[in-house]
Amino acid sequence: MVAVRLWGSLAELADGQQTVEIEAANLRQLLDGLVRAYPALKPQLERGVSVSIDGKIYNDTWATPISEESEVVLLNRLVGG
């Protein structure tokens, strides 16, 4: 299981949990697993998120590996100028 940290307003939609556990070995499995376990997160996940895995930020790459020890943090989808 991977511990995934949610930002505040997402936590409210995940039964108030700041951190949820998801069975996942890569980014795609993580995102799919989140929606399965917490359907209320779906609108935000569809609008897009960025995911910090061990301090590096990923937006899209499904195959990005995630280990059980990884620090995983969900972030609003980042934009730049």
Partner 1 sequence: MPKDEYQSRDFKVVGTRPIRPDGIDKVTGKARYGADITAPGMLWGAILRSPHAHARIRGIDTSKARAIKGVKAVITRDDFTYQPEDSDMADILDNCMAGETARYDGHAVAAVAATSKSIARAALAAIEVDYEVLPHVTDVDEAMKPGAPVIESGRQQENVPKGYSENVTGRSQYGHGDPEEGFKQADLVIKRSFKTAATHQGYIEPHACLATLGSDGQGDLWVCTQGHYMVRNVCAGVLGLDAGQLRVTASEIGGGFGGKTHVWMEPTALMLARKSGKPVKLMMSRDEVFRATGPTASSSVDVKIGMTKDGKITGAAATYRLQAGAYPGGIAFLSAMCGFAPYDLENVRTEGFEVMTNRPKAAAYRAPGAPMGAYPVESVIDELCQKLDLDPLDARLKNAAREGTKSSYGPTYPAIGLEATLKAAQSHPHWTAPLGPNQGRGVACGFWFNFGGDTCVSLMVNPDGTVSLSEGNPDIGGSRASMSMMAAEELGVPLDQVRTIIADTASLGQNEVTDGSRVTFAVGLATIKAARHAVEIMKERAAMTWGIDPEAVDWRDGAAHPAGPNAGKFPPMTIKEIAAIASNTGGPIAGHHEVNAEGAGVSFATHMVDTEVDPETGAVKVLRYTVFQDAGKAVHPDYVEGQFQGGAAQGIGWAINEEYIYGDDGRLQNAGFLDYRIPVASDLPMIEPVILEIPNPGHPYGVRGVGETSIVPPLAAIANSVSRAAGVRLTSLPMSPPKVLAALKAE
The footprint of partner 1 (CB under 8 A) covers 5, 7-10, 12-13, 18, 40, 43-44, 47, 52, 54-61, 64, 71, 73-76, 78-81
CB 46 to partner 1: min, Å: 11
Whole-number minimum distance, CB 20 to partner 1, in Å? 14
Q: Of the two residues 17 and 58, which places its CB atom closer to partner 1 in the complex?
A: 58
5 CB neighbour count, 10 Å cutoff: 16
